[in-house]
Amino acid sequence: MFRRLESGLPDDPRFPADLKELGYFVNEKDEVRSIEDPKAYFQYFLTKNDRVNDLHREAMNGAIRNIVAERLNNLGLEIIRLPLGAKATERNIPIFVSKEIKSKKRILVLFYDEQQDLGVFSQRILLGKGGINQGSAIDLVKYVQSMRSSSSTDMDDSPAIILANTGQLRWWRRGKKAVSQMSWYTLPSNSLVDPPYEFDAEKNTVPDNRNIAEHVEYVFNHVITELTNPDSKLEIIGVSGGAVEVSVFLEKDENWKKWKPKLLAFASIASYYSPNEITNEDFRKWLINRGRAYIISPEPCGFFLAGPDGSEEISPRGLPTFSLGEPFYNENILPVGFKAIIDWFEEVANDSSYVNPKFFRLEEKDKGKDTNITQPCS
């Protein structure tokens, strides 16, 4: 009988989280390209070994995370660690918050997809056509900061921003940092063939932020409550699981009574929350008047798809439902169409009595014509 000693197992490869060392650069279009072949985007299939490919991709993601974080910091956003007051070496979940948030009258809060890193929207865009700014929160933040309310005399009354972190809710104790589920499976191992680390629901999570529901609750009841102006108003964007948990949180009677006076509008993107779960009738009416849902659709950006009760083709979402011009991938919806959402938020903010108008969809005469809309909303 033979056995293979641990010392004889193949080493777990290490890749630097640096674009240049990985063989890539950022071109004039802000797109990540290969140094060897400037026409080529990031190549995942480095070898036939999935573990090696995943580790290589994680190194690339790490390099991109650093670039995104630096650019967000240059735009006036800073890292705040949850629970509030936690040190970098203690168990914590990082979020991005505008430095001047206490003085702002409006706060935009984003609860993104549970699969993405902090500040990252779409890997497909970020590492492909579109580039880093569009595939991350950078372009959205820039657009929000360009907003000025016509009814205000303030020099800068653009909303402050909170980027919640619904994706990186696992705590890597040895590395002392929060990671996503994808990153968890690429943590350093003793050998190339070792299984992933076992996940402990207590030791590998952060108190009060152990899952998306707890994180959403903590952001509302602690971050917003303690860091913002008591008179400020909230504009909420939720994506996928983030949208679901925001809906679940606000639907509860005690939460709704507390937060309704502060809410301006809610954009629900790629949500799987069913209106059948709503028992709070006041919340249901508010969603119809101040909420909008956005889903993948080949229709142009801003195209009305269905009312709160849905249609023959579209399931009910409890809100008026629209397209943002993204026909294929949920993760691309916000980076492709965020301008339409922010413009709508501006419309709501400038009208204290705002309610959604009654939308009607006229049946198209030429149903046979294919539409392929992939350009960002302008």
Would 262 be classed as within a structural domain? yes
Query: pLDDT means per 10 residues in the chain (378 residues)?
Result: 68 88 94 93 91 94 96 97 94 96 95 94 93 96 80 67 97 95 90 84 95 98 96 96 96 96 96 92 96 94 88 88 94 95 95 88 49 44
Residue range(s) defining the domain that contains residue 209:
77-361
Give the per-residue pLDDT at 314: 86
Distance CA 10, CA 52 (A): 11
Looking at residue 191, its pLDDT comes to 78
Q: Write the CA distances from 315 to 242, 273, 276, 311, integer angstroms.
A: 19, 11, 11, 6
Residue 369 lies in a domain: no
Domain-located, residue 329:
yes
CA 335 to CA 358: how far, in whole Å?
Answer: 27
pLDDT at 319: 93
Residue 16 counted as domain residue: no
Looking up residue 119, the CATH number of its domain turns out to be 3.40.50.1820
**Token code pair at residue 137:** 């929160």
Report yes or no on 26 lying in a domain.
Answer: no
Structural domains in the chain (count): 1
| pLDDT confidence of residue 378 | 54
- Within a domain: 68: no
Task: Answer yes or no: is 50 within a domain.
Answer: no
> Rounded to two decimals, what is the model's pTM?
0.90
Q: What is the pLDDT of residue 369?
A: 42
The string of DSSP letters for 318-369 reads SS-EEE-S--S-GGGHHHHHHHHHHHHHHHHHT-TT--PPPP--PPPS-TT-
pLDDT of residue 197: 85
In-domain check, residue 275? yes
